[in-house]
């Protein structure tokens, strides 16, 4: 199992669809040392990224023979980042499933689209527009500096402590009992981020990483705002 996981972390990746999302994923993976084959039906997009990705090819990704010719069945990981063309997204994902690609990530533009991708065999479905919309809404409406929401109603947020929450260390403040949240990390002014424990003192101006259920993290963020 370890050798399989290690191979996936180092093996070349197939990225299908080189729009904003796909190109961002592909370029980030190249920056992290992965070889990337970027594929798109648009000659303009392929040409734009030709010198920045390991390899780029213009083909119709719904064409089984064309996909076989570029070696799609040989990839361990593939990312289907096709945008608004749902038919192409579904057909391309279906081909990769039939090829036996071990890990397929697929972008969905709606919940219905995502359900179809899951049913045909995509291993991971992402909703970049919806996820970003939720993230921005939380950042705009509260004291959060960063925010990550998980599928099971759990969230992780970064907040700034502009005022003290009370005297004493974390163990004395009982934030989990009062708010249902856990402070998992802290960066005091002029220092680096570190793990938080019951002896950690939250100084004004500190950045804190907070975990908990979405509604509890939101409530705590509003409390932080009301102190300023």
CATH 3.30.70.1450 intervals, the chain: 131-226
SS (H, E, C) 154-205: EEEEEEEECCCCCCCCHHHHCHHHHHCEEEEEEECCCCCCEECCCCCCCCCC
Antiparallel, parallel or unpaired: β 206-213 and 154-161: antiparallel
Provide the pLDDT for residue 6: 46
- Show pLDDT as tens, one digit a residue, over the chain (228 residues): 334 444 556 789 999 999 989 999 999 999 988 999 999 999 999 999 999 999 999 999 999 999 999 999 999 999 999 978 999 999 999 999 999 999 999 999 988 999 999 999 999 998 887 666 666 666 665 668 888 877 678 889 898 887 777 778 898 888 888 899 999 999 988 899 999 998 988 888 889 999 999 889 888 888 776 655
Q: Output the pLDDT for position 224.
A: 76
Note the CATH number of domain 131-226: 3.30.70.1450
| Interior/surface letters 130-142, b for 16+ CB within 10 angstroms, e for the rest | eeeebbeebbeeb
Domain with CATH 3.40.50.720 in the chain: 2-126
Q: Provide the pLDDT for residue 84.
A: 83
DSSP 26: H
Q: What is the pTM of this model?
A: 0.68
Phi, psi of 144 (to 5 degrees): -75, 140
For residue 149, list its beta bridge partners: 155
Does the CA dihedral 173-174-180-182 come out positive or negative? positive
| pLDDT at residue 137, rounded to an integer | 62
Architecture of domain 2-126: 3-Layer(aba) Sandwich (3.40)
Partner residues linked to 36 by β-bridges? 13
In 62-110, alpha helices (H): 64-69, 86-99
């Amino acid at each position: 199992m370890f050798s399989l996981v290690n191979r996936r972390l180092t093996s070349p990746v197939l990225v299908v669809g080189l729009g904003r999302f796909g190109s961002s994923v592909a370029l980030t993976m190249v920056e992290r040392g992965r070889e990337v084959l970027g594929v798109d039906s648009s000659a303009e997009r392929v040409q734009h990224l030709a010198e920045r990705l390991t390899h780029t090819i213009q083909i119709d990704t719904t064409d089984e023979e064309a996909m076989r010719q570029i070696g799609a069945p040989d990839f361990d990981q593939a990312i289907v980042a096709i945008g608004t063309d749902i038919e192409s997204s579904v057909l391309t994902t279906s081909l990769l499933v039939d090829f036996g690609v071990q890990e397929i990530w697929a972008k969905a533009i709606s919940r219905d689209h995502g359900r179809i991708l899951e049913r045909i065999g995509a291993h991971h479905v992402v909703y970049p527009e919806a996820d970003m919309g939720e993230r921005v809404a939380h950042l705009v409406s509260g004291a959060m500096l960063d925010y990550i929401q998980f599928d099971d109603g759990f969230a992780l947020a970064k907040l700034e402590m502009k005022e003290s929450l009370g005297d004493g260390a974390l163990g004395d403040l009982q934030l989990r009992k009062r708010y249902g949240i856990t402070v998992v990390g802290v960066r005091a002014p002029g220092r680096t981020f570190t793990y938080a424990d019951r002896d950690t003192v939250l100084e004004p101006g500190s950045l804190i990483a907070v975990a908990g259920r979405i509604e509890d993290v939101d409530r705590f963020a509003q409390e932080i705002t009301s102190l300023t």
